[in-house]
């Protein structure tokens, strides 16, 4: 089990006697305000950024507790370096495979972990859904954890004789130095699409941030990029070590996708791989990248196919339920226009009546809201606009932002219901045998953030009662 007290941390809940507390100026809270609490809990070293001015009371508290005050140029980088050092640099003893991109990270991470683990390789996984060590799952809060957690996790992996760690690497993790000091033995670059424009000004800025993952490789690292993605195809122009894969003629490793209905079959150099539990071209790309990475670790086609055959579902990723009225409900984490396009175009042929329910997060990239509405209108017979995590925003105003992207000829499809639970029941009432209800945006999350308060909310529980 993960320890509660960390030797180095930026969070007071993990401070204990002798801890080093790193005060980071975050986007909404300043870690310096928590220094007195950290001292009270036993912190003996306080790390601040050079430009931070502490109050007289805080300086007196540091002196009273006989703590050491250290000033650094970058507290985020210091947190990563000090956390790695305190844990004994466990990442250096592991083969860490980083998966980055806008879409496909979680599916690829779950699938690759399953293949390695079922092939007898002791493997850990870090995702925004759940983390795991040798199959033992534990909660996750961020796509890529903060360094204080991350290096304690790596230490636990080493103690439990794990050799390989598969982890999602978010753009924010690269921007905010969460993976500083981490070297990747393998990298899969899945794709780039519009996302996180509340943090990155343009697509080029976002892409440049993702590219920083290649600062964390050695000459022996195996790096893959999806050539079917316009950004992925350009990566070898600047990072010659990257090998591209895809279903087009411009890839270094070219594959063929065979249509098999509800399953994915791909062929690489006359070797066929079949995954029965996944569907869609976007998942075929995920399977291709994962298979190539698995082959890098010496697994044979026979071994990989044996594990693909037993791969199940991923929480919140195309999670399927049969309802009592004969309709099918699918829960998925898709939350941007390109994900909507890939997901809804895949599902549309499987039903004559598609009900799509979704909202958008408050304060996040407002420009994508009407684009999501546009895509949903192309495929849905009924669109139910509701709340996601509205945060400080009025959910009705978010709904109106989405509706602006829906043309007049599709306006009749729209139902507006800001209460997400009521909206789900409304979708059920509109459904009949053969209908497909798609709940987008929440995926595995079991909460809603409304007016700054985190409320328990599980779509899965609501659907299971139906």
Q: What is the DSSP string of 299-325?
A: --HHHHHHHHTT---BTTBSEEEE-TT
**446 burial type by CB count under 10 A (0-12 exposed, 13-18 middle, 19+ buried):** middle
Cβ-based neighbour number of residue 51 at 10 Å: 8
pLDDT tens digits, 56-114: 999 999 999 999 999 999 999 999 999 999 999 999 999 999 999 988 999 999 999 99
Helix, strand, coil in percent for the chain, rounding step 5: 35, 25, 40
DSSP secondary structure letters along 108-161: HHHHHHHHHHHTT--EEEE-SSEEEETTEEEE--SSS--HHHHHHHHHHHHHTT
Asked if the model's pLDDT at residue 424 lies above 80, the reply is yes
| DSSP state, residue 25 | B
* Residue-level pLDDT at 152: 97
How many C-beta atoms surround the C-beta of residue 72 within 10 A?
A: 16
**Mean pLDDT along residues 115-124:** 98
**pLDDT band for position 195 (cuts 50, 70, 90):** low
What would the pLDDT profile of 325-351 be if each residue is shown by its tens digit? 999 999 998 888 988 998 899 899 889
Q: Which two tokens stand for residue 169?
A: 């690497």
- Which positions ≥6 away from 458 have C-beta within 8 Å? 446
Does 362 score more than 90 pLDDT?
no
Sign of CA dihedral 116, 117, 122, 128: positive
- Provide the mean pLDDT of the chain: 92
According to DSSP, residue 33 is labeled G
pLDDT at 203: 84
pLDDT for 158: 98
Quick: pLDDT tens for 153-171.
999 999 999 999 999 999 8
How far is it, in rounded angstroms, from Cα 422 to Cα 420? 5
The answer to whether 115 and 430 have CB atoms below 8 angstroms apart is no
pLDDT of 450 above 80 = yes
Q: In Å, how far are 212, 364, 402, 406, 440 from 359, measured between CA atoms?
A: 31, 12, 8, 14, 8
Q: Is 88 helix (H, G, I), strand (E, B) or coil?
A: coil
Grouping H, G, I as helix, E, B as strand and the rest as coil, residue 237 is helix
Q: What is the pLDDT of residues 256-265, one digit of tens each?
A: 998 777 799 9
Q: What percent of the chain has pLDDT over 90?
A: 75
Q: Calculate the CA dihedral of residues 297, 96, 254, 232 and round it to 10 degrees.
A: -170
pTM (global) more than 0.95? no
Name the pairing type of β-strands 328-332 and 136-139: unpaired
């Amino acid at each position: 089990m993960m320890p509660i007290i960390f030797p180095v941390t930026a969070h007071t809940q993990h401070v204990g006697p002798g801890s080093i507390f790193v005060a980071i100026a975050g986007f909404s809270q300043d870690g310096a305000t928590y220094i007195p609490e950290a001292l009270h809990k036993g912190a003996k070293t306080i790390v601040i950024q050079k430009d931070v001015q502490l109050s007289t009371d805080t300086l007196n508290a540091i002196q009273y507790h006989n703590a050491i005050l250290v000033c650094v140029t970058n507290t985020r980088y210091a947190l990563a370096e000090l956390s790695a050092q305190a844990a004994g640099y466990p990442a250096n003893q592991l083969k860490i495979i980083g998966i980055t991109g806008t879409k496909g990270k979680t599916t690829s991470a779950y699938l690759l972990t399953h293949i390695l683990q079922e092939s007898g390789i002791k493997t850990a996984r870090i995702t925004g859904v759940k983390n795991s060590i040798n199959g033992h799952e534990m909660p996750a809060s961020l796509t890529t954890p903060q360094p204080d957690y991350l290096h304690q996790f790596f230490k636990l992996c080493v103690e439990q004789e794990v050799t390989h760690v598969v982890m999602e690497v978010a753009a924010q993790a690269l921007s905010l130095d969460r993976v500083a000091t981490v070297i990747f033995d393998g990298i899969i670059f899945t794709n780039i699409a519009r996302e996180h424009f509340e943090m990155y000004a343009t697509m080029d800025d976002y892409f440049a941030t993702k590219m920083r993952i290649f600062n964390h490789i050695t000459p022996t690292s195996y790096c893959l990029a999806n050539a079917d993605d316009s950004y992925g195809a350009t990566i070898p122009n600047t990072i010659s070590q990257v090998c591209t894969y895809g279903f087009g003629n411009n890839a270094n490793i070219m594959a063929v996708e065979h249509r098999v209905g509800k399953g994915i079959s791909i062929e690489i150099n006359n070797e066929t791989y079949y995954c029965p539990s996944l569907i869609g071209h976007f998942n075929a790309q995920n399977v291709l990248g994962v298979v190539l990475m698995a082959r890098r670790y010496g697994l044979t086609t026979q071994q990989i196919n044996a594990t693909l055959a037993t791969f199940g579902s991923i929480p919140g990723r195309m999670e399927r339920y049969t309802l009592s009225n004969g309709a099918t409900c699918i829960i998925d984490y898709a939350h941007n226009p390109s994900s909507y396009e890939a997901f809804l175009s895949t599902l549309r042929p499987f039903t004559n009546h598609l009900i799509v329910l979704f909202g958008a997060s408050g304060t996040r990239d407002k420009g994508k809201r009407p684009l999501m509405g546009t895509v949903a209108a192309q495929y849905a017979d009924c669109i139910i606009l509701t709340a996601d995590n509205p945060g400080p925003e009025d959910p009705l105003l978010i709904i109106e932002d989405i509706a602006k992207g829906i043309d007049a000829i599709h306006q009749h499809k729209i139902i507006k219901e800001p209460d997400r639970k009521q909206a789900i029941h409304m979708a059920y009432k509109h459904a009949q045998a053969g209908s497909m209800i798609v709940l987008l945006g929440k995926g595995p999350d079991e909460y809603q953030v409304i007016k700054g308060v985190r409320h328990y909310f599980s779509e899965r529980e609501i659907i299971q009662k139906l």
